[in-house]
Chains A and B, each alone.
Chain A
């Protein structure tokens, strides 16, 4: 059973508008979260992270929000640009202990930003 879920396989947004990508997790031990971006024929690249001691982390146009009680995180992209069109993966780990470096990934959301 997948411990990290991205229930929207795709999302289409107009250029300049906000893109919101969602991710849910089931393991309450997860306390470190990452978002990766993947272009076709390339490996995923790191985008932004958040640890459970925070509920928001911002990096330029990208902001990740974490709601620990709901076991939910989201990635906001504002404003969206055509170059943001890619598959976005969220990932989670326990952040400490033996498996601190073991990340579980969601199935990805394909974002299409229309010019």
Chain B
């Protein structure tokens, strides 16, 4: 298995633009998580899905953030409009349940 695949690896965008981050979980994993890593707060859980259904989005910072999982093999995290304070590394992870996430390599987002 290729693991959790995230794209793009790096994204530089101007403030106000829409940004879409993508994730392909490991086949057979029924849980998917979006995390954001910052120096101050470490890894923050933004949202997670079980069987493609959003279970907890309490970590989504603002209405500018939205996430979808249209099927078991794909998820997106969208920021619209983006702001400089959104600059961070965004990780997607998947799990078969019962702990033990597998993380992707992350997307480094820079909003200028």
Which residue of B is nearest A41, CB measured? Answer: B105
**Is A6 positioned at the interface, with any CB of B under 8 Å from its CB?**
yes
- Give how many B residues have a beta carbon under 8 Å from the other chain's beta carbons: 26
A49 touches B99 (CB 8 A): yes
Min Cβ gap B11→A in Å is 15
Cβ–Cβ contact A107 & B99, under 8 A: no
Q: Are A98 and B55 closer than 8 Å at their CB atoms? A: yes
Quick check: is B61 within 8 A (CB to CB) of the other chain? no
B31 — nearest CB in chain A belongs to which residue? A101
Tell me the count of chain A residues lying within 8 A, CB to CB, of chain B: 27
Q: Is the CB of B104 within 8 A of A101?
A: no
Instruction: Write the nearest CB–CB distance from A11 to chain B, whole angstroms.
Output: 15
Shortest C-beta distance, B95 to chain A (Å), equals 6
On whether the beta carbons of A44 and B99 are closer than 8 Å, the reply is no
Interface residues of B (CB under 8 A from A): 4, 31, 35, 40-45, 48, 50, 55-56, 91, 93, 95, 97-106
